[in-house]
Amino acid sequence: MSEPKVNVQMEKIVALCKRRGFIFQSSEIYGGINGFWDYGPLGAELKRNVKDFWWRAMTQRDDVVGLDASIIMHPRVWEASGHTTTFNDPMVDCLLTKKRFRADQIEPMSGDAYFWSGARDEQTGREIREPYSALIPTGKHADSARKLARHFYQQRGLSEPALLEERMEAVVDSTRYNPENGSLVTEPRQFNLMLKTWVGPVQSDEDVAYLRPETAQAIFAQFKTILEVSRQKVPFGICQIGKAFRNEINPRNFTFRSREFEQMELEFFIKPDDVAQAELGAPPEPCDLATPLPNWGWKEWLHYWVEERVKWYEAIGLGRDTLELYWQKREELAHYARACVDIQFKFPFGAQELEGIAARGDYDLARHQEFSGKSMEYFDEEARARYIPHVIEPSAGVDRTVLALICQAYAEDEVPDEKGKPEARVLMRFHPRIAPVKVGVFPLLKNRPELVKKAREVRQRLRPHLAVFYDEAGAIGRRYRRQDEAGTPFGVTIDFDTLGESGPALKDTVTVRDRDTTKQDRVKIDELLPLLLEKVS
Ligand code: GAP
């Protein structure tokens, strides 16, 4: 029963995103292209705010430096990382509609499965010996399965197929059928998710290159260079924000699973446990995980980064109650990973991953050392030891974070209109820190030049410091609603009191309206900027 509600909520969110210009289909005038999205004026600001806040959180610490690497790298990078051989999803196609599914995402279904060995054309006598099967709900008349089968053999050239050697079997939890129509699907085939291109004028196998499927590998490949130029010492991290591309079989849930998306990744290099703990031994359990210690091993660092990242989400308005931590089970881990924690957000379509935080051992650097022939070893002067650093990797998605913020912000309530009558409104309760527009500036009336002049002055004062939207069109209530829907946390109105018409006490004051409570406070224009800056920082 919850399914329709979920869809209704997501439909409203998707509609608002399009209507207000947050996010819409790429190349829409040509019908769009599946798995690719564009961010409009509000979406672009929101996304930039998320990336800027992440970048500052990472680089405004002594032990993390940044990188902005190219999207296309030497193809050997992807051999070393294992992507050319193992970055695959199992894929199946519906035998009837040709629709493609990820085999591991097909919902198991039970019912009556009908099988045929082939069919004969009643007019021409031509036979096709190709087996087919269809699944229908238990007890439903066999004719609905036969209809699918006839359709299947018609597509293969028989105009009036008579079905051959029919048999029926009850099946339980089968993933061999298309959940949308019950037709058999093909056997699963492995499908590599990397998008290929060619570099240079020749399109031969030697010129193949890949659009990176993750930003992480550039960090590993440049580890030695960055170590030298930044003069960092292990433990330290390298972070990067950038585009990644995956030829996902089934892009879905709006931007959640896209084919082009952005990642925010940190590779944090640590000492192997035996080096970190050679002198001091392991830290006591439980230990304070807020302040790093020299003898922390990978487990302490992993917990530390999980907490840091959860605090970061809290700071942009995704409270702990909206998140879930999922510790991957041993059998779910990549073969090189020691542990991996998914930070999930409770989307309307279920709790789903925003970020994975993995303890990857020395796998990545060791592989690049092996494939490039260049040493990735680090000489630790303090410990007098040479080793390949181990890695803790917090890897987050920009687009998923933006989608989570949009889902979390979307709200409907009722507020009194100008005559005091309750009126329904849609608002986006973005945290002021990441809201695309921070403040709306409104002269009370458009046709009073003194109000307009003053309002423009206020806009000019705020604009160098804050994203401001100036609006003088329409009734003030409507202007507030428009900004509520854009998620603008504050509205500043210039009225007759501002001009001193009620006496000198209120001259050069404005009202500041809070989006969520709709409460208005009077503030001196001179105090406006510091007040707003404090609220949005
Ligand atoms: N370097 C590790 C790595 O790439 P991942 O779990 O495959 O790990 C990390 O990706 C994050 O990138 C995910 O948690 C998610 O936020 C984002 N991401 C991955 N695939 C995505 C897709 N198809 N669409 C949108 N975001 C995606």
Three-state SS string over 3-35 comes to HHHHHHHHHHHHHHHHHCCCEEECCHHHCCCCC
Q: Using 50, 70 and 90 to split pLDDT, how confident is the model at 417?
A: confident
pLDDT in tens, 330-339: 999 988 899 9
- Which distant-in-sequence residues (6+ apart) come within 8 Å of 527 by Cβ? none
Distance 265 CA to ligand 1 centre (A): 10
pTM score, whole prediction: 0.91
The predicted structure's pLDDT at residue 195: 97
- Nearest CA residue ID for atom 6, ligand 1: 356
| Cα–Cα dist 34/252, whole Å | 9
CA distance 35 to 248: 8
pLDDT value of residue 4: 54
| pLDDT of 260 above 50 | yes
φ, ψ at 32 (rounded to 5°) = 80, 170
CB 246 within 8 A of CB 193: yes
Structure tokens at 358: 């993995």
Q: Which residues pair with 490 in a beta bridge?
A: 439, 514
Residue type, 344: Q
CB atoms within 10 A of CB 8: 11
Q: What is the pLDDT of residue 418?
A: 78
* pLDDT, the chain, mean: 95
pLDDT of residue 416: 87
Q: How confident is the model at residue 1 (pLDDT cuts 50, 70, 90)?
A: very low
Q: Where are the beta strands (DSSP E) in 422-495?
A: 422-428, 439-443, 468-470, 490-494
Query: How far does residue 245's CA lie from ligand 1's centre (Å)?
Result: 10
Q: Which of 178-182, 418-422, 457-461 has the lowest mean pLDDT?
A: 418-422
Burial class (CB in 10 A: 0-12, 13-18, 19+), 319: exposed
* Gap between the Cα atoms of 207 and 401, Å rounded: 35
Average pLDDT over residues 388-409: 98
What whole-number distance in Å separates Cα of residue 308 and Cα of residue 396? 13
pLDDT tops 90 at residue 35: yes
pLDDT of residue 6: 66
Protein residue whose Cα sits closest to atom 10 of ligand 1? 395
What is the tens place of the pLDDT at every residue in 161-200? Answer: 999 999 999 999 999 999 999 999 999 999 999 999 999 9
Tell me whether the omega of the peptide bond preceding residue 108 falls within 30 degrees of 0, making it cis: no
Mind spelling out the 3-state secondary structure of 200-228?
CCCCCHHHEEEECCCCHHHHHHCHHHHHH
Q: Write down the pLDDT at residue 3.
A: 45
CA dist 217 and 202 (Å) reads: 26
Quote the DSSP letter at residue 524.
E
d(C-alpha 171, C-alpha 109), whole Å: 8
Residue 2 has pLDDT above 80, yes or no: no
pLDDT tens digits for range 300-351: 999 999 999 999 999 999 999 999 999 999 999 988 899 999 999 999 999 9
Q: Residue 89: which H helix or E strand, with range?
A: strand 88-93
Ligand 1 atom at minimal distance to the Cα of residue 398: 16
Provide, rounded to the nearest whole percent, the portion of the chain with pLDDT above 90.
94
Tell me what pLDDT residue 335 has. 86
φ, ψ dihedrals at 17, nearest 5° = -60, -40
pLDDT single digits (tens) 515-534? 999 999 999 999 999 999 99
Q: Which residue has the tokens 């709306």?
A: 440
The residue contributing the CA closest to ligand 1 atom 9 is 395
Q: How far is the CA of 354 from the centre of ligand 1 (A)?
A: 8
Q: Taking every pair of C-alpha atoms in the chain, what is the biggest distance, in angstroms?
A: 100
- For residue 400, which atom of ligand 1 is closest to its CA? 16
- The CA 177 to ligand 1 mean position distance, Å, reads 28
Q: Does 201 sit behind a cis peptide bond, omega within 30 degrees of 0 on the bond before it? A: no
d(CA 237, CA 309): 14
> If you measure from the C-alpha of residue 87 to the centroid of ligand 1, how many angstroms do you get, rounded to a whole number?
13
Q: Is the CB of 352 under 6 A from ligand 1?
A: no
Distance of CA 499 to the CA centre of its chain: 47
Q: Which long-range contacts (CB under 8 A, 24 or more apart) does 152-155 make?
A: 152/95, 152/96, 152/183, 153/118, 153/119, 153/128, 155/96
